[in-house]
Each structure stands twice: as C-alpha cells, then as structure tokens.
Amino acid sequence: MTPIDMMAGEPHFADHLAAVWLALPPEARGTFMHRGNRAAMAEIKARMARHGITTQLKSGNYPVLVAAYGDLARAKREGRTRIAIMEHGAGQSYHGDPRTIGANSSSYAGGPNRYADLFLHPGPDPAARDRARYPKARVEVVGSPFLDLMPAHEPSTEPTIAVTFHFDCQMAPETRPALPHFRKAVAELAKHYPVLGHGHPRIFEAIAPWYRRQGVEPVRSFEDVARRADVLVADNTSVLFAFAASGRGVAVMNPPWYRPHVRHGLRFWDAAEVGVNVSSPARLAAAVAEALEDAPARQRAREAALSLVYAHRSGAAARAANVLLDWTGAAAVAA
C-alpha cells in the first residue's frame, strides 16, 4: 500500500486534513508535515497532538494531500509529482466580478495554476469550477471532513453567543471583514449575553485585545466555539456553514461593502439564507434573538442553504480516504 503524505502550512489547513488522516488505515499514512512560520508550526503540532497525530518537518516522497493553494505550490517546489488538494472551507469563490483580484486567484476553486492530480470538494459548486478548469484532473465531491471532527455542543445555563470575523483580505469587497461596521453592535451584544470572540487565524491576535476591552471572551479555537456557543454571528467564513450544519442558528452579517448585485455563489448569495441576514448594526441583537428562537421556517431555510454547500454532512473523512486509496491504487476500507 502506497503511503500518503499530508502537508499543512497553517493550523486551520491541518484541521481539515486531520479527519482524513485518521480515516486512512495506518499503513497508508506517510508523513503529516507542518510548514509555515515557527508559531504556525507549533500550533499545528499542538492541535494535531490532540487528535493523536504526530507531525514532522521532514519531507516524505509519496503522493501528498494538501488543503490550500500555498501548500500545493510548496509541494511542487519540493519536487512532489503526485498531488491532491482538498478544499479547506465551503468552496467559496469570487468570480462574480471579473474586475477583482479574487476572480482570477489560484486560492479559489476554478482559479489558475491549481494543477493537481486530484481535487476533493465539499459540494458541487467548487467541484464544477475545478472540473471546468482542469478537465484532465480527477474531481470528487466527498463532503467536508472537517465536520466529522466537530465536537458535540455542550449547552450552558444561559444562551452563549459567538462572533467571528474574516481577515482583511483584498481579493474582493466580500472578502473584507464586517468588524468596522458591526463593532459597536458587538460591544452592545456583550452587555446582554456571554459572548465568545473568535476570528480567522490571520486576524485573531489583532482583535483579541479589543474583544477583552468589550467584555468578550477571546476564543482562538473553533472547536471551543462549536462546543460552547448556541448561536454564531459571522461575516464571510466557512465556519458559518460548519456551525449551521450542527443544527444551530447563525446570524449572517452583511456590511455595506458586500454587494447584493454581485453573485459569487454560495455565501454570495445563493446560500446566504443559512442564517438570519442582518445589514444594520442596530438589528444585530434582534437577529441573534431570531437565531436563538430558530423557528421551523428558519430551520427549513438553513437546510436548503446547507444542501448547496455540502453534498454529504457525515462520513466525508472516510469517503475522502477511500478516494485517496483508490487514487494511489490501494483497496478501499470500510466507511
């Protein structure tokens, strides 16, 4: 059986690879490699250790699975010739406005220079984009293995709200965070609920002090958010859908720079009804209350949105592992 290596340059990429690694038979596990700066490598090692996964810096020389374009490029620089890439989020792309950088970025499905032998996707939208761009590659829809390792909700005696923001990415207006628009509303929310403050790994350290000043508890790990929160308030992030897939309500922040007339797909705007949409900071508290109520109509809207994002909501890790084994010529294992 040919071993399969995995390579992650940032902690959240490793989070998405972990479930697949654990689903592979031990004899198919090559080297789980950590890359990036010293802080990132230390965090990857710590996070994977919680799953019983030992990471190494050294390179193997086997087929390799990555979860981001940067690691795909790194694998090529290291001489890898058999590379698979797995989507590390919901598969969001930004092709709705050809004038923006994101419309032609290698970071997103359907972008240039993503030459890989195998693409693994959570749903049909990003799969169709890569299939059209790379007709000679194998493209499989497996679901999101990330969901397989999400911890169970542990409700507290009073409703707990989590908020999270994207980093200030310049790919498109829709990749920028909603924090400047909702800053005061989040501070006000913390006067009425216990609030957990999360953020994209590239922004968390910068916003954690602000969270503390508002009486918001900074929480770096999304696992902890998933375990503790009753509602998630988010702008543009794949964890918006991951949290909703657990059956809990979400509130979807839409600052003025998120353009209603520009349709990128998924979060913008086909699957935006995954939660209560809110554009005015003055309505954030009402949106949270509606998400907590989670009426049947809201649940139906959430399910319809999630069906666009995830082809499968469980068993994705085993499904991905079996595709990888087939790709390397090994026999599949039981799901």
Condensed to tens digits (0 to 9), the pLDDT of residues 84-93 reads 999 999 999 9
Is there a domain that residue 155 lies in?
Answer: no
Whether 116 and 169 share a structural domain: no
Beta bridge partners of 86: 120
Say whether pTM exceeds 0.75: yes
Q: How does residue 335 score in pLDDT terms, banded at 50, 70 and 90?
A: low
Whether 189 and 221 share a structural domain: yes
Is there a domain that residue 41 lies in?
Answer: yes
CB-CB contact of 168 with 159 (8 Å): no
CB-CB contact of 232 with 225 (8 Å): yes
Backbone angles phi, psi at 212, to 5 degrees: -60, -40
Six-digit token string for 277: 């949409």
Question: The CATH number of the domain where 60 resides is what?
Answer: 3.40.50.2000
Whether 208 and 300 share a structural domain: yes
Is there a domain that residue 334 lies in?
Answer: no
Is there a domain that residue 239 lies in?
Answer: yes
Whether 46 and 120 share a structural domain: yes
Is there a domain that residue 151 lies in?
Answer: no
Whether 138 and 194 share a structural domain: no
Q: What is the distance between the alpha carbons of residues 272 and 251, in angstroms, rounded to a whole number?
A: 10
Whether 305 and 168 share a structural domain: yes
Whether 259 and 166 share a structural domain: yes
Domain range enclosing 267: 161-309
Six-digit token string for 45: 């090692």
Is there a domain that residue 179 lies in?
Answer: yes
Query: pLDDT digit string (tens) for 96-132?
Result: 999 999 999 999 999 999 999 999 999 999 999 999 9
Is there a domain that residue 154 lies in?
Answer: no
Whether 49 and 119 share a structural domain: yes
CB-CB contact of 181 with 256 (8 Å): yes
CB-CB contact of 170 with 101 (8 Å): yes
pLDDT at residue 331, as a whole number: 64
Whether 269 and 318 share a structural domain: no
Query: pLDDT digit string (tens) for 135-178?
Result: 999 999 999 999 999 999 999 999 999 999 999 999 999 999 99
Count of domains observed in the chain: 2
Residue of 296, 240, 250 lying closest to 92 (CA atoms): 240
**Position 32, amino acid:** F
Burial class (CB in 10 A: 0-12, 13-18, 19+), 47: buried
Is there a domain that residue 113 lies in?
Answer: yes
Q: Please name the residue that has the structure tokens 């984009």.
A: 129
Provide the CB-side half-sphere exposure for 153 (13 A, CA): 19
Whether 97 and 176 share a structural domain: no
Whether 177 and 240 share a structural domain: yes
pLDDT at 59 over 90: no
Whether 133 and 175 share a structural domain: no
Question: The CATH number of the domain where 270 resides is what?
Answer: 3.40.50.12580
